[in-house]
Structure 1
Amino acid sequence: MNLPLSPDRLWDSLMAMARIGATPEGGCNRPALSAMDAEARALLAQWGREIGLTLSVDRLGNMALRREGRDPRRRPVLVGSHLDTQPSGGKFDGPYGVLAGLEILRALHEAGAETEAPIVLVNWTSEEGCRFSPSMIGAAGAMGVLDEATVLAAPAMDDGERYGEALARTGWAGTADPAALREAAAYFEAHIEQGPVLEAEGYDLGIVTGGFATERALVTVTGETSHAGTTPMEMRRDALLAAVEMISAGERILYERAPEGRMTVCRLLVDPGADGVVPGGARFAFEYRHPDDTTLRALLDAADAAIAAIAARRRVGVRREPYWSFPRVVFEESLAARLRAAAARHGAKHRDMLSGAGHDAYHAAARMPAVMLFIPCHGGISHHPTESISRAWAEIGLRVLADAVIETANAPE
């Protein structure tokens, strides 16, 4: 199908969306279910109305903009990503996938073309996880990984507002059943790579065949608060120093056992956090990621043993409570093959790759055939105001995505 896809219109849409929550540094601050996120959603809904899309919002706030096919009884093909950003985020992580999907539907509308199956553009709620934990919580609820009540009760990390309360406050508490999104034929998600591989190796596109297994946990260290000037070192039960040693041990274990994996401490909180006081409490969010489930488990077991030994020696209590995890994700090979074929037709240099970051597509893949497509980003920088892509990368990703989505929507069931 020769569609009038407009890379310029896609770019203009990306820039218009980036003005919502724009920061002086050039990035975006549009956390999930904030006033800025609500404004971004309203703009997407307006664009959808302009081309006749039917908007449905489910009870978790996930937006589904539907374009009917010749046979409305057929299961739809989903394409999308997310509009929320990190507080110090950029213009493209998430919105590129949503707005590339929108451009496909705009081009179909402009051409007066029909697909056999409906195509549904999805904006998932709260992918980033910077307000509501865990990340990808809207997709997790829709796909049945988390139950609806758990998602709605999730507290915001900044002010304690519940997810359900935020939906009501922003006007995005829908009535559709989130489970309806499970009844799809396929899911496509285009995204910036969030790493330096594609750009460094000179590739235009990455065909994402799967994703790393991940476990993130909150580690709570309980010592004893005391006076920094009067408590001898050998008598202290310093929770922060114990936590720092635990973190260092976690990094050492990764390098010794699986250096191709990832180890990150995302947050560190100290109690009471006062001058002149030996910290009696510390909490940190600790995660490992690895492309092999068995290796990930071995890393976690080794870290648990090291953490317990450090706690015993330093006479502190410790508790590691996992709160975000998923096994290695394997995406649908037949959909990946369609992306490869489309890339070849368009002369795009491409390679297969795994994703180290989590995405909404991970949860979709548990319920339906799913795949991801990466375009490069400059310097592999994401979750930062300087995050950037080229117009050429945006265009080739759009054209390849469009081919694969439409081919899937027209394929026999």
Structure 2
Amino acid sequence: APESSGCGIFRESCERARECLEAPTASTSRRNLPANGDVDEGERNGMILAKSRLVTQIWSDWAPALMPIKSKKDETKLLSALKGAFSAASDMVNSDDENAATGVAHALITIGLNLGRLGIDHSNREVFASMVSEETARALDEMLQENVAVVLLPALRCSNVVAQSVAAVLIRVVLAPEHLGWTEQSESLLNGVLPLVEEDDKVISTGFARLVADLTARNPREDALINILQLCGGSARSAKISALNVLSEVLRLGREMTDDTIAAVTTTTLPRLKDKDIESRKAATAVLAHIPPQTMLPTLIRLLVSKDAEERAAAGDAFVSMLSEQRSPAQAMQTYFSALASMSRTEDAGADAERAKTTADAIGRATKLLTRFAETVSSDDWPNIAQVITRAVFDAPAASAFHQSMIALMPWIGVIPARTRVFDSCIAAFN
């Protein structure tokens, strides 16, 4: 069943499952294995076989969660699988062992896939009711309630980020379900977790940040968000970084924000790019990467020539992150060109020569950073990027910044299959 919100447990579990399935494959690729001088061929093949078996085991646990529930027998299997997953997670969640933490993530993804597929967190409760019998629905609700304190809350502090992430969404499903709207229980949960952002002497976990962010974003009032913004501007290191992480997660959820709220987020976060603490700068960079690019990119580009070295570096990281956060690499380039055009219009409106030179220098540095972005793009995406760049150059032949971008990216555009699309775009421009 499709979720009505963008952070449903099924989507979250699918994304984390994909990460887990890709990780063993990546780690056993030839380039990621130790060199021949360190490991003999037999040991190398043994590592590959072990990882292959792990992927097979993971898949055998998760694949059944994707199958439809058609009978009472299927419901019995579902309950059995969930009981087993909760039991396994309970046995491992308080262990410091890395393998145990991975096991917790494995178990929670199993739970998330099964429950999410049923639409347990859909805003319309009838979706869930139509998927299983009333008896099974009641058993599932009871199972979740029983395991909040035993499994889900401890998992927020698990060393495995995947476990944290899935646990955060499951807690929200149990204690502040979407179909009930914003209730007194939702308010109580938010009031209970929000002070911990400030009171904990350590930076809060990713999972905890996501739980706080989800509740903050759903809160019909903005008092919790205002509190987070105030902490972002504070002097206490842990509280500041924790609050920035929560703010980043709030923006990641994609909930609609007013222009005034976005402006407040930007105003609060930008000064953090000057912080001497690298973790604070990284957290601020993550926040800025989620702000609407048409608002943020011109500002970040201008900061690339800041007199403050930390601010320049952080702005560069935020610039690359923002491009990477777009729906597609081609969309990222289109967004970048729109930002350049906006800056050019501002300069054409009457900027003095010194400011025009500063802007040109900033754009020059942004152009150099495009190569960092390019290194993250897959070969399949380059034809579409080539089309966007070629079209931009033809539409604005006098825009030197567009030409600079094309030159900077030529090592990627000038190879098959991207270079063919360049000529296709040239032909289309004259039709």
Q: Do both proteins adopt the same fold according to a TM-score greater than 0.5, normalized to the shorter chain?
A: no
Compare the two structures and name the one with the higher helix fraction. Answer: 2
Compare the two structures and name the one with the higher strand fraction. Answer: 1
The normalised TM-score by structure 1 is: 0.22
The normalised TM-score by structure 2 is: 0.22
